[in-house]
Amino acid sequence: MLKQHLQLKLSQKLSPQQIQLMKLIQLPIQSFEQQILREIEENPALASGKEETEAQDEFGENEADGGEVIEAEDIDIDAYLSDDEIPEYRLRAQNYSADDENKQIPYAGGISFHQDLMRQLDTFTFSDEEYRIAAFLVGSIDSSGYIRRAIIDIVDDLAFTENIFTDEKQVRHILDSVQQLDPPGVGALDLRDCLLLQLKRKPTTPAVAQAIKLLEDQFDAFTKKHFTKIKARLKIDDEELKACMEEIAKLNPKPGAAHSSDTKINAQIIPDFSIQLVDGQLSLSLNGRNTPELHVSSEYKNMLSGYKEAKEKNKEQQKAVQFIKQKLDAARWFIDAIKQRQHTLYETMNTIMAFQQEYFLTGDEQQLKPMILKDIADRIGMDISTVSRVANSKYVDTPYGTKLVKWYFSEGITNADGEDISTIEVKKALGEIIDAEDKSNPLTDEELMKLMNKKGYPIARRTVAKYREMIGAPVARLRKEL
């Protein structure tokens, strides 16, 4: 049975322009510059660089919204041709002058980690099939230098993807050759394999020989730092164990990491903000030196002028002027969106800088106040999601290093004096206690809790465990050293 009824419903939908604005706010500086270049390519009414005349075109209000049909007769062309004022964005400072130091970092060149391995592979003598297997193994090495797949799985992959039918024995034989490549330890199947490969390429000494035996026979006890068991099973004393551990400590658990940075050669962090301390005062600036000046294409201005002067206006001309107006509206909105993005970014970071003024003046992390997204959103009158977009994707260059804006946000706790302190300060205090502990007898979480409480940080043992993990400190047993 069909029924008809009326229903009133209030809903809020974001326009495509609002969605695009949020995306612009979220973009870091490099992606933002790329987006501007794409927009210039896609919209012929949007041009970059200096204009030929002193005054910049100010083209009227956006009269069309979405897919609304526009009649050419309804278009106020004069609004698009106005030359009577210079927009604010043309007068905005560029945050740098001609005599400023050029801080741009040139891109470096070089070969990638895998290219280096393949170049070394060419020095071996292989048959065609063996070379293809070796190349496949090199291609399976990750950025840390490991092959994280079982040999039997590699055999299957060779059959399905390379049409090479082989067995585990042959793959293992060729892997032995791959593991002779530099840096030592590359091509290992696991950590134990990696460390052993490096030790076996060292000159043979009693300490190296004992270290090899330790890893081969007592690797599980080694990872858990059961030193008493290791000494009993290997029948060695404290000095011999210490010599073994010193040899192992010299090894690189990620042999590919030193070279793998070459594969990310263009992935430098370019800060979106810069905070400088000048004569005891904080100065904030946006990084905008690579953002081109945008304006409306003079060619499109001339097109509209020609349409206005034409006595007869046929349908083709009306369609053309509708197309031109849509492009002008899009260009105007994009320029306004950039202005709003820059304003939002500046207001957000400026409010953060004011909130954390004591820290930015001194660089002392103990001066960091507890700060959550809502604190900043309330002060600038924006939504929390907008502040989140700025904090999660932007970097700020300060006298104390370049950090993600998100780093300055933290929850807070109340110390013994009743003051609100940032969890960043608590974690720093915990790290200092762990760094100063006796490594031969590390402090348990219970003992850490008691010391933190004495320092005026009333936190529970489980909170100590959480903060310890956040600063990358393992449990007491794994922090033990000889």
Across 266-270, 322-326, 412-416, 442-446, least confident range: 266-270
* Stronger pLDDT, 227 or 412, i.e. the higher one: 227
What counts of helices (H) and strands (E) characterise the chain? 22, 8
At residue 352 the predicted structure's pLDDT band, cuts being 50, 70 and 90, is very high
422 bridge partner residues: 412
Instruction: Report, as an integer, the average pLDDT of 328-341.
Output: 81
* pTM for the whole structure: 0.51
Q: What is the pLDDT, as a whole number, of residue 79?
A: 45
User: Cα dist. 282→51, 94, 279, 357, 360 in Å?
Assistant: 35, 18, 8, 8, 8
Asked if 173 and 167 count as a contact pair (C-beta separation under 8 A), the reply is: no
Q: Residue 467, SS3? A: helix
Model confidence at 80, in pLDDT bands (50, 70, 90)?
very low
Tell me 244's DSSP state.
Answer: H
- Structure confidence by residue, pLDDT tens digits, 357-368: 988 998 887 788
pLDDT at residue 12 tops 60: no
User: Which range is least confidently modeled, 4-18, 181-195, 402-416?
Assistant: 4-18
Work out the burial of residue 204: count CB atoms within 10 Å of its CB; fewer than 13 is exposed, 13-18 middle, 19 or more buried: exposed
What contacts 95, CB < 8 A, 6 or more positions away?
285, 286, 287, 288, 289
Average pLDDT of the residues in 58-62: 39
- pLDDT at position 173 is 92
Residue 480 pLDDT exceeds 70: yes
Average confidence (pLDDT) over 111-130 = 87
Which has the higher per-residue pLDDT, 481 or 236? 236
Region for residue 74 given its phi and psi (left: phi exceeds 0; alpha: psi -120 to 50; beta: otherwise): alpha
Three-state DSSP state, 31: helix
Domains of the chain: 16-50+265-271+279-357+369-406 (no CATH), 113-260 (no CATH), 412-479 (1.10.10.60)
Instruction: Please state, in angstroms and rounded to a whole number, the distance separating the CA atoms of residues 25 and 344.
Output: 8
Distances from the Cα of 111 to the Cα of 184, 268, 361, 428, angstroms: 19, 17, 42, 39
Other beta carbons less than 10 A from residue 290's beta carbon: 12
**Residue 353 banded pLDDT, cuts 50, 70, 90:** very high
Q: Which of 61-70, 96-105, 147-156, 362-371 has the highest mean pLDDT?
A: 147-156
- Which pLDDT value is given to residue 74? 44
Instruction: Average the pLDDT over 220-234 and give the result.
Output: 85
Residues 6+ apart with CB under 8 A from 466: none
- pLDDT band of residue 110 (cuts 50, 70, 90) is low
Is 425's pLDDT higher than 70? yes
Indicate the residue type of 18. Answer: Q
Name residue, tokens 């400190």. Answer: 473
Read off the pLDDT of each residue in 288-316 and give the average, rounded to a whole number: 66
